[in-house]
A and B are shown apart, each in its own frame.
Chain A
């Protein structure tokens, strides 16, 4: 593990070109300070002599400050994350519902499990997902407590995990970057400091194509992907590139992708998955489902054998509907024969 002062030593003893070779992210740092054209065949401090004073001045820097900042920068971005690596289970300890009645529930969910959350609109499904996201410690209106690996968390730990624990996916999300699929995946891989960018990009790309109804090429702009293709890419990306051990999925009913495959993929990657849904197919594919009423967890139902068996029928119904949709798309008339099961 390199410390900041190790990096200072490196910067003081090696040419910039070598630093860049070992830590390519140095280029980003230089670009941030408009120093992309700096000479690299010498020490950074020497190279800075050739830079107009004005540039450093505008950023409020002396050459030495810049050196120090780069050292800290490199240290920060070469740290391998540890806080969220070891999340193997989360536990929801019940609080109170909107009528102030106790929930009397403690539910532990392990990596690889899929939980669906069902309940009428306004009942508190999103609230539950929020409690998970902020790692509530009996300090939100619901008084729930969320534990990680059977342990409660103090504020420092919560802040550390905040923003990294949970990946979210919903119907309303779109891509806004002006990049091709490949560029997009490479950029994300770079941010994760992946050592083998090409491999992970390839995996993501082919997996997204398997999930999507219609295939797409890697030079398509992400903003031009269809709804289904976007969703497929987002899921593959979350599965292979996101560090977050927990995935919250809100309404992907009409996503135009293979929903079961998508969830299965995430589960196989040892994520803990919550799906807020009204779709019987998704709900029954989960291991358990949380029933929300009046802002509280009313019950937890384990998917029964009977329910699992009826999944086969539901899948049939679902395929039937899918067929009808496809007929509609291709301009056919919908006949009684088509509807007959």
Chain B
């Protein structure tokens, strides 16, 4: 089975791109499965089910979805293999901009959209920086110039990634993405593989349920802001 991880900010077009990609791949029904990692809730299962794509949803709740991803990805792969998939795609919503769910030697795709502001690529961090492919959506509604500036800013952060423009509505551009993914690694487990980037230490008192505000309640790894006079 092959594994592809896809991450990106909410509503950047991940689901749209995945569905168009699946359409372009023209593989038999049931040979591609999706696992969606999200925070609180998601309606993506409806879209996948409508396209007859087997899907599993997982909600991280109190923890960061990328931490949640790492803790569950091995089981996800197991599920994929047991279900007889040829390809498993994970979709995860990048929310904290500090984590990224990418694994060494596993195809890693970041989806961002042109509407999010030209400087956004410079702010997203590891999710963009460590991707092999950056998919840019919603180019149909902004000017050519803005697309070019956007791509330039992506390149500033990730010099080596391929940038592919995809229209999530018409699927224009998915052809090149599919071509790219042809040589994705075949795996039968991902045990002992490594993340491309460390997820941050989440060990302060607020991680473990503290809700009271103020110095006396703060414990563990803390980072304090410095307010200049």
Contacts and interface: CB of A to CB of B under 8 A. Distances in A.
Interface in B119-161: 122, 126, 139-146, 148-149, 151-152, 155-157, 159
Interface band, chain A: 35 or more
A155 B146 CA distance: 27
Given A134-B173, A163-B163, A175-B142, 17 more contacts: A28-B156, A32-B156, A60-B197, A77-B155, A162-B164, A162-B176, A167-B144, A173-B140, A174-B142, A176-B141, A187-B149, A188-B145, A188-B148, A234-B144, A238-B145, A242-B148, A244-B144
Interface in A119-164: 126, 130, 133-134, 140, 155, 158-159, 162-163
B149 A188 contact: yes
Interface band, chain B: 35 or more
A191 B149 contact: yes
A311 interface: no
Contact of A32 (B114, B140, B146, B157): B157
A168 interface: yes
Contacts, number: 92
B123 to A, nearest CB: 9
B206 interface: no
16 contacts: A28-B156, A31-B122, A60-B198, A130-B175, A134-B173, A162-B164, A173-B140, A173-B143, A175-B143, A175-B146, A176-B117, A191-B148, A234-B143, A237-B143, A241-B145, A242-B145
Contacts of A187: 118, 149
B172 interface: yes
Contacts of B164: 162-163
Given A130-B172, A234-B145, A29 B156 contact: yes
State the majority secondary structure of interface residues on A.
helix
B73 interface: no
State the majority secondary structure of interface residues on B.
helix
Contacts of A29: 156
B141 A174 contact: yes
A159 B122 CA distance: 24
User: Which residue among A32, A133, A234 has the maximum number of chain B CB atoms within 10 Å of its CB?
Assistant: A32
